[in-house]
Structure 1
């Protein structure tokens, strides 16, 4: 938060001289300068925010990598047990909150899917 406050202060300081130097009639040039100053201020704020968030994202990436490395054997076993997902119906939630996933019968597996093609 402190960095954002610093970035806003820099933006205000940068715009102050520009406002005082516009001695002529308001024209297209001063509007362009104002837009470029706003653009630069936005860049400063975004750089500041990225600088604050970057260490947390790196930590999250490291933690996720470790978690996935620990879960990998169990996920491989589960994938081997399940096999092809097309062998199952969509999950259903029962009135008591249980979720069941029914296996398709061999006859159901032989039928083409609604958006699939039929071989002739």
Structure 2
């Protein structure tokens, strides 16, 4: 609704500036700039509360993910020690170490603990 009023005000202002013989081209641009500012302010007023809600939701989600991301970072360590991720045909993604740090430990039946 505010956008419509701003566009209507801009449309009314434009012919008045063009009808005056002493109006310079720069006056038209300044009127367009003012109209654009009015429209942008109106849009920000309309979507501002929704943006605040989105920010609050993302902050909440990050608060829940932060402990898990910290645990993952502790497990992986420095990413420079790994090759680029590789996707297997079954959809699994593996990160191979560039230089193995520890020998692989096999279980009693030859299984590997992943």
Q: Same fold (TM over 0.5)?
A: yes
Any gaps of 5 or more consecutive residues in structure 1? 108-120
Aligned to 1:116: none
1:88-120 CA-to-partner distances (Å, cap 9, x unmatched) read 11111234433221122259xxxxxxxxxxxxx
* Aligned positions of 1:79-98 closer than 5 A: 79-98=73-92
The unaligned stretches of length 5 or more in structure 2 are 102-114
**1:58, 1:46 → 2: CA distance?**
17
C-alpha RMSD over aligned residues: 2.0
Shift of 1:65: 0.8
**TM-score using structure 2 length:** 0.75
Greater relative contact order (Cα < 8 A, sep 6+): 1
C-alpha distance in structure 2 between counterparts of 1:95 and 1:67, whole Å: 31
**TM-score of the two chains, using structure 1 as the length reference:** 0.72
Aligned residues: 101
> Which one has the bigger helix percentage?
1
